[in-house]
Structure 1
Amino acid sequence: MSTPDSPQPPTGRHTQHHQQSTPDKDDALAPFAEALRERVPSREALLAEAKAQTARQRRRGKQSAAGGLLMLLLAGGIWILDPAWHTEDIHTAIGQRSTTRLADGSDVILNTGSHLRIESRLRSRRLELVQGEATFTVVHEPKPLIVRSQGVHVRDIGTVFNVRSDSRGVVVSVVEGAVEVSNGQTPARLLEAGQQVQASRERISTTRRIDPDAVTAWQQGKLRFDGTPLREVIADIQRYRQAPIRLDEARLGSLRVSGEYDTNAIESLIDLLPAILPVSLARGSDGTVVVHGVR
């Protein structure tokens, strides 16, 4: 029997209630730790992301370097190929002459019925005489000036030169200085003042002496012939008229013509032919002229 002052041993119910009222701290933080793990990457995740970022930067660096190299190669290729980045076409009508000053200060005088194409390039100055005749007075520059026509290339070496391009081929005449004539098939030919060649894609004729004043007489509205075959005279006359003029017989082409004639009076020159040669003329209603031989 116990006394009132004797301590009482704890009962089982009281002990159980005490254990439930003091929960473990780790258990209490567990829900928050899980939420933090979802919001804050782990060390392993951070390292993986850093490695991926480094790899992406390296790829971008390689792509940038490759792009830079490609641009450099393209620029070098463009410089080597020397493409035309701009072209301009100039035409003259039948009987018309015109003078054009190029961007570099060079002058081009175009004769009747001519077509000149001016090409702007990086490394060179290039012109194409599609047809007709032109005299080029060239300003010296580090970039060479090249005139091409019918597969023939004329490279300026400091000069004034004349180029005629028609059904007869290309005729290059040097007034001052020198030019180099080439066609990619035969050795290039160097021409100096007072020299001329006739050229095509296949051949370049032997060099012959000419009178530069006679070659450029067309600039003063004149045609000069000095024992010139009639076939050549007819070809020159044709450049100054729309309607055709032709020889009835090929043998007539060997007849010779001399003298100076006015390009503004081409019909008068045609009418004069029977007076200086054994020929007659037949004029058609459409302006066609046929030159017949006199037997």
Structure 2
Amino acid sequence: MSVMSYTEPESGSLHRQAQAWWVRLHSGQATRADADAFRQWATHSAAHAQAWREVMRVWSALDPLLAEEAARRASGERSFFSWLRMPQALQALQSPGRRAFLGGAVAASVTAGVLAVEPPLGLWPSVGELTADYRTATGEQRQVALDGDVSVRMNTQTLINRIGTGTLARGMALVAGEAEIVAAGAHDFFVETGGGRLQARAARFNIRHTGPQVCVTCLDGRVLVSVNAEKRSLEAGRQVTYDKNGMREIVRADVASVSTWRTGILSFDRTPLSDVIDEINRYRPGKVFLRNDELGRTLVRMQLTLRSIDNAPVMIRELYGARMRSLPGGIVVLS
């Protein structure tokens, strides 16, 4: 078992280093050498110590919520922390005596490997994020060029891997997220995502893969969509969704709404509040939780700018009468 060094990784922020130490020390596999290295890291400077205190402050504040949610899960209610579906996490949170010795909210029986694959609340990057060829953080957008004549505009929380050899990328895999692709080359460019394959030569199209379904919108040109041996051709202004079970019917697209993220504005027109919050969470650091199913069904008309996305929970409280509780780390509970 390798020992973490207090200088690892110096290129990252101190906050992310503190998060990495938290995972390691709560893995159930930390060694005495790890403890010694952590002491070196934590006492290296006042800034190191402050970063560690901030990480622990977040988890200490979350402790009551996590314990409450574990009890809700035990009674059969739906959990809003998806990672609490792990039996070992549920058992640990129901047993205060088994909590980690550093006072964090997740007990030592939850392995670092699981937390690295599915980080709770998105407080640190997953393995998939760290290994992707291109990625955007929460609230970040990025433009990348592939193969010289293909440009990709990546939206928030998007992961992309190149497919190709050498300096040429004949295609890409959209692991998760949303992107607008402009292909204007002499050869076909393809995208693999969500079990389907898209192919285009001269086209502009938007792909959104933020859940079990993939939504493809052709903005200009033509895109060939293939899923489970079924093929359909999308013309400009047309849209299709698919999942692992196959494709739905092609429909006329609301092109303006599909591209609003490019303008830095989120617009909602009679959208359930639960869906609005899901979208806000894609752009806002931390996490907003809605713990009122009736309120979640409220149809919302709202427009938000990405520059002021942090104010969204306050706007929801003022407009729709939600009660709001703020916690460290950008975590907000609405009820």
Equivalent residue, structure 2, for 1:56: none
8 Å CA contact retained: 1:197, 1:208? yes
2:300 and 2:201 map into 1 onto residues whose CA distance is 34
1:251 and 1:182 map into 2 onto residues whose CA distance is 39
Deviations 1:174-211 (A, max 9, x none): 211222222216x3233222222222111323333333
Matched, 1:160 2:204: yes
| From 277, 289, 295, the counterpart of 1:234 | 277
The offset of 1:262, in angstroms, is 0.6
Equivalent residue, structure 1, for 2:192: 148
Deviations 1:53-101 (A, max 9, x none): xxxxxxxxxxxxxxxxxxxxxxxxxxxxxxxxxx981112222111112
The offset of 1:231, in angstroms, is 2.7
Query: Is the alpha carbon distance of 1:272 and 1:209 closer, same or farther for their aligned partners in structure 2, counting shifts above 3 Å?
Result: farther
The offset of 1:214, in angstroms, is 2.0
Counterpart secondary structure, 2:285: coil
1:237 and 1:288 map into 2 onto residues whose CA distance is 12
8 Å CA contact retained: 1:178, 1:193? yes
**TM, length-normalised to structure 1:** 0.62
Matched, 1:255 2:298: yes
Query: RMSD of aligned C-alpha atoms?
Result: 2.6
Deviations 1:137-160 (A, max 9, x none): 111323x21111121222225311
Matched, 1:198 2:257: no
Matched, 1:118 2:135: no
- Aligned-residue sequence identity (percent) comes to 28
Query: Is the alpha carbon distance of 1:281 and 1:220 closer, same or farther for their aligned partners in structure 2, counting shifts above 3 Å?
Result: same
Matched, 1:269 2:332: no
Query: Is the alpha carbon distance of 1:114 and 1:180 closer, same or farther for their aligned partners in structure 2, counting shifts above 3 Å?
Result: same
- Structure 2 letter corresponding to 1:133: E
Equivalent residue, structure 2, for 1:175: 219
Unaligned runs of 5+ in 1: 1-86
8 Å CA contact retained: 1:110, 1:133? yes
| From 95, 98, 104, the counterpart of 2:139 | 95
Query: Is the alpha carbon distance of 1:153 and 1:232 closer, same or farther for their aligned partners in structure 2, counting shifts above 3 Å?
Result: farther
Unaligned runs of 5+ in 2: 1-130
**What is the aligned residue count?**
204
8 Å CA contact retained: 1:227, 1:257? yes
Bigger radius of gyration, 1 or 2? 1
1:234 and 1:280 map into 2 onto residues whose CA distance is 14
1:252 and 1:181 map into 2 onto residues whose CA distance is 37
2:247 and 2:213 map into 1 onto residues whose CA distance is 10
Query: Is the alpha carbon distance of 1:146 and 1:285 closer, same or farther for their aligned partners in structure 2, counting shifts above 3 Å?
Result: same
Query: Is the alpha carbon distance of 1:148 and 1:250 closer, same or farther for their aligned partners in structure 2, counting shifts above 3 Å?
Result: farther
Query: Is the alpha carbon distance of 1:276 and 1:182 closer, same or farther for their aligned partners in structure 2, counting shifts above 3 Å?
Result: farther
Query: Is the alpha carbon distance of 1:124 and 1:114 closer, same or farther for their aligned partners in structure 2, counting shifts above 3 Å?
Result: closer
8 Å CA contact retained: 2:288, 2:313? no
**TM, length-normalised to structure 2:** 0.55
Query: Is the alpha carbon distance of 1:253 and 1:197 closer, same or farther for their aligned partners in structure 2, counting shifts above 3 Å?
Result: farther
2:316 and 2:254 map into 1 onto residues whose CA distance is 24
Counterpart secondary structure, 1:135: strand
Equivalent residue, structure 2, for 1:73: none
8 Å CA contact retained: 2:184, 2:201? no
